[in-house]
Amino acid sequence: MEERELNMPLLGDAFPELNVQTTHGPMNIPGDLKGKWFVLFSHPADFTPVCTTEFIAFQDRYDEFQELGCDLIGMSVDQVFSHIKWIEWIKEKMDVDIKYPVIAANDSIALKLGMLHPGKGTNTVRAVFIGDPKGKVRLVLYYPQEIGRNIDEVLRAVKALQISDKQGAIPANWPNNRLLQDRIIVPPASNMKDAAERLDKYEGYDWWFCHKPLDK
């Protein structure tokens, strides 16, 4: 049996350059997205129930992603004509207009992202890559074919990444953390002097666990 090399970009890596055909025409990723956040998500196949629910769920949150300066891009190894027909079907049957592009990938492109599902032929996993304005991979989520994704969590992750870049670390279940609600965790002290002064400057449980209000 032929072995296929499986690559997967890691957090902080440059997103692999892809020249792709999409339902909106040719694209270079991440080149065409420079200066913007983006979410690239793959699905196993067109005209499948779970994937259809996911596509509609991403579209339901489309405007909220746009407000964050974040583009959505779908992807599977189906051909463009299949994507187009599926999008038409969703519009006709579900009255939902899919506004984001969908990439027609091949095995080479899918392998660059580690998206081919082991043991399931050419089907792609349910992967999510969040990229930042510099084209760096900031977050990766992988789901099996049998489980649809939580799109609200993807949206929350984009918001959290943008805020953490400017303000500090994000607690569990933010913005509804049981201890801190939507407050931000202050970066840890880097020396003993800073540690001694932390609780004079910030609220907290100890010098290593301080927090501050979210800048809105």
Q: Which residues contact 188 (CB under 8 A, 6 or more apart)?
A: 208
- Full DSSP string of the chain: --------PPTTSBPPPEEEEETTEEEEETGGGTTSEEEEEE-S-SS-HHHHHHHHHHHHTHHHHHHTTEEEEEEESS-HHHHHHHHHHHHHHH-----S-EEE--HHHHHHTT-BPTTSTTPBPEEEEEE-TTSBEEEEEEE-TTS---HHHHHHHHHHHHHHHHT-B--TTTTSBTTTBT-EEPPPPSSHHHHHHHHHHSEEEETTEEEEPPP-
Tell me the C-alpha distance between 98 and 90, whole Å.
8
Residue 210 falls in the annotated catalytic set: no
Q: Report whether 91 contacts 98 (CB < 8 A).
A: yes
Please tell me which residue in 33, 39, 51, 210 is annotated as part of the active site. Answer: 51
**CA–CA gap between residue 132 and residue 46 (Å, rounded):** 27
Active site residues: 51
